[in-house]
Amino acid sequence: MSTTTTVHPQRSGASDDGPPDVFARVPPQDLDAERAVLGSLVLSGTPRSPSYRYFGEIIDTGITPDEYYRPAHGTIHRAICALREAGEPVDVITLTRELTRTGEITRVGGAAYLHALVAAVPTAANGEYYAEIVRAKAYRRRAAEAAARILQYAHGDEGDEDQVRDLVEQELTGIVAGIPGLHQAPPAVGDLYLDFVAELEDVQDGKRVGLTYGFADLDALTSGMHPGNVTVIAAASGVGKSTLALNSAVAAAKTGAKVMFSSLEMSGVELMQKIAAAEGKIPLHHLTQQGGLTPDGWETVKRLGPELFQTLPLRVYRPDGASLGDITSTARACVRDGGLDLLVVDYLQLVEVEQGRHITREQAVSSVSRGLKNLSVQLDCHVIALSQLNDDGLMRESRAIKNDASVVIKVHRPDKDSVRSGEVDLVIEKNRFGPTATATVAAQLHYSRFVDMAQY
């Protein structure tokens, strides 16, 4: 009968009385973070739960069952994923049933342990943060294991110098490639050429255009709204920038685009009133004043229900606060629940970010602008961000906003005494998809809408 002895390599020069061998230490792990991740997943696993959006954010970190140090935690995570893939809610009852079905409920500590996981987490909001901790610890364990194998190769007698070098290179490559969040090398232009030609053919044939703004001249000048880009609509207070953005959101949604309109100024009811006025040609004040709606107006509102509102893929969101994080989390929830093609934020200067003691207002708005630009790329959607103009007609914090935008549109209304008093100029000051120019539309603000001049 033979026995196998495992030898743990010591650092050169280390004595028996010296510091302990690094490879004899307990592997990197954080069991509290692991429990917090699982508790957060269970706490946010029911679609109707207020914290449901956090479930997707945790899963989106890329955490896998194999990254848990404790095997029982990996088993629980795997069961959670199985419930998710089956379209079932995740809670202690369904999770207990799933683990019982697979014969693993006792091995993970029973239903009592599942209840303890949930009880230990006051909120699921930090689940994404805990998941990143678990992933980082798993990476450190893999790095330590790879380093141990490299030492084993170095101290062994097997293989020649080239073979050892190849083995070491493989291990080092594996360590680097395993870094959580590490990006792959981007494709070469030669690899992109065929996709470029195919898209070019679609563009030239009119098969591939951006989302419509709802205005023919504006679409022609900009080729519509494209994923991964930001349009800034800037105007002074009361000119109608919110109305213009809402008109564009509805026009895009009518084509089947999935839209989220986030308003920091108007409630959902107010936005519905504006949509009903614009789509039903009902004077807005008839909808906002007691007894103002005529019988014909009521019939129009009733008709808009089945014909428009019940089929329009438009979501209206008014955050409880005004946080960029809230808007981002809700936009991600839309992506998980059917997709998102267009996000409208009304308006930039009202969005809040965590401000340090010495941060200026310009830096804060710059952070919001950059955050929305990054979000458009991450979610592969277009963003319309509204911005306030000051009394001199300048966009507040304009430098950062213009840098992040692909299209900048200033809304200008001629004087009331002018012969053009019923017109509005959409001045395109920046346009990455075409020329800078001016598109003129007609203002019908009593209907809460702008229309092409041909319809005026």
Residue 9 lies in a domain: no
Q: What is the mean pLDDT of residues 300-317?
A: 90
Q: What's 104's domain CATH number?
A: 1.10.860.10
Last residue of a domain, one of 128, 157, 180: 180
pLDDT of residue 177: 61
pLDDT band at 321 (very low <50, low <70, confident <90, very high): low
Amino acid letter for position 259: V
The answer to whether residue 353 scores a pLDDT higher than 50 is yes
Its pTM surpasses 0.85 = no
Last residue of a domain, one of 126, 160, 180: 180
Could you list the residue range(s) of the whole structural domain that residue 141 is in? 23-180
Residue 392 lies in a domain: yes
The answer to whether residue 250 scores a pLDDT higher than 50 is yes
pLDDT of residue 403: 82
217's enclosing H/E stretch is: helix 216-222
248 and 101 in a common domain: no
pLDDT band at 267 (very low <50, low <70, confident <90, very high): confident
> What is d(CA 409, CA 221) in angstroms, rounded to the nearest whole number?
12
User: What is the share, in percent, of the chain residues with pLDDT greater than 90?
Assistant: 36
Q: What is the mean pLDDT of residues 432-454?
A: 90
Q: What's 344's domain CATH number?
A: 3.40.50.300
pLDDT of residue 15: 42
pLDDT band at 5 (very low <50, low <70, confident <90, very high): very low
Angle 117-120-121 from CA coordinates, rounded to 5°: 95
161 and 233 in a common domain: no
162 and 238 in a common domain: no
238 and 364 in a common domain: yes
165 and 78 in a common domain: yes
pLDDT tens-digit readout, 46-101: 877 788 888 888 988 889 999 999 999 999 999 998 888 887 889 999 999 999 99
Residue 199 lies in a domain: no
pLDDT of residue 4: 36
Residue 88 lies in a domain: yes
pLDDT of residue 116: 93
pLDDT tens-digit readout, 175-204: 666 655 555 567 788 888 888 888 888 778
pLDDT tens-digit readout, 367-397: 788 888 888 988 889 999 998 876 665 665 5
The answer to whether residue 360 scores a pLDDT higher than 80 is no
Last residue of a domain, one of 180, 206, 231: 180
pLDDT of residue 19: 40
What is the residue-wise DSSP string for 414-446? --TTSTTTTEEEEEEEEETTS---EEEEEEEGG
52 and 167 in a common domain: yes
What is the residue-wise DSSP string for 313-335? -EEEE--SS-BHHHHHHHHHHHH
> What is d(CA 387, CA 404) in angstroms, rounded to the nearest whole number?
13
Helical H segments across 227-280, by residue range: 241-254, 268-280
Residue 240 lies in a domain: yes
253 and 164 in a common domain: no
Please give the structure tokens belonging to residue 130: 């805990």
Residues linked to residue 388 through DSSP beta bridges, in sequence order: 235
278 and 162 in a common domain: no
pLDDT of residue 391: 60
Q: Confirm if 420 and 406 have CB atoms less than 8 A apart.
A: no
pLDDT band at 166 (very low <50, low <70, confident <90, very high): low
The number of domains in the chain is 2
372 and 262 in a common domain: yes
283 and 137 in a common domain: no
264 and 168 in a common domain: no
pLDDT of residue 208: 64
Angle 33-36-38 from CA coordinates, rounded to 5°: 115
Residue 90 lies in a domain: yes
249 and 105 in a common domain: no
Residues sharing a CB contact under 8 Å with residue 149, sequence separation 6 or more, in sequence order: 167, 171
Between 225-234, 272-281, 283-292, 424-433, the lowest mean confidence (pLDDT) is in 283-292
pLDDT of residue 2: 39
